[in-house]
Amino acid sequence: MSWPRPFLSVLAALEGLLDRGLCLIGALLFSQVPEFIQQYVQRLGGHLDEARRQLAQLRDTAAQSGLTLDQLTARTSADSDRAVAQLGSLLHRVAERVQDLATAEAAIRNASLWSRPFVFSRYVDPAIARSTWAVFKPAVPTTIEGLLYALAGMLFMLALYYGGIKVPCRRLLRARRRRLQPVNPSTEAA
């Protein structure tokens, strides 16, 4: 079956619009990655500052008792009173939290342009990511990083469209046309 020329022209125009629309969607989506990570790092820094403040208060409390924080943690953890022993566990978790947050913040801040999303995914704190997403404000990227991610998004969407939709569909249509074409007896005899 052959399609009328006007219909083919309309299909070609729609394909061009789809192509450009996908480029725009890819650019918009990918360009937000650096912005989300930046807003996440700001929120992560706030959590880190608060955890450091709490740790400093705990160290001051230990110092007022003539102990280091490690000594206070060991004493309270070994206490026979269960409530006091749980306090020792809390002291230990606060110190670990500061270390974990500081490590994550340094790793994400110092990651290169292309490794940042992978480093982010390795160190992401799901609770902080959810709270970042809840207040996330998309932004127009005005940095080289945002531009590069937008270009990567365009290329990704084009590759997805051409490699996953357009080329396979054309192959299927060609194969179908070949199966549906009547066999010409004069070419078979030769």
Q: What are the φ and ψ backbone dihedral angles of 86, each rounded to 5 degrees?
A: -70, -30
- Ranking 3-17, 65-79, 162-176 by mean pLDDT, the lowest is 3-17
Is residue 115 in some structural domain? yes
pLDDT of residue 168: 73
Is residue 59 in some structural domain? yes
Domain count, the chain: 1
pLDDT of residue 122: 97
8 A C-beta contact, residue 110 and residue 37: no
Is residue 190 in some structural domain? no
Pick the closest to residue 1 from 183, 176, 184 (CA basis): 176
Is residue 189 in some structural domain? no
For the stretch 42-78, pLDDT in tens is: 999 999 999 999 999 999 999 999 999 999 989 888 9
For the stretch 85-130, pLDDT in tens is: 888 889 989 999 999 999 999 999 999 988 999 999 999 999 999 9
CB contact burial 8-39 (16+ within 10 A = b; e otherwise): eeeeeeeeeeeeeebbeebbeebbbbbbbbbb
Q: What pTM value is reported for the model?
A: 0.72
Is residue 186 in some structural domain? no
Task: Quote the percentage of the chain above a pLDDT of 70.
Answer: 87
Whether 185 shows a pLDDT value over 70: the answer reads: no
Is residue 62 in some structural domain? yes
Is residue 185 in some structural domain? no
Q: Which residue has better confidence, 182 or 178? A: 178
Is residue 28 in some structural domain? yes
pLDDT of residue 3: 59
pLDDT of residue 16: 73
8 A C-beta contact, residue 52 and residue 116: no
Q: What is the residue range of 45's domain? A: 5-180
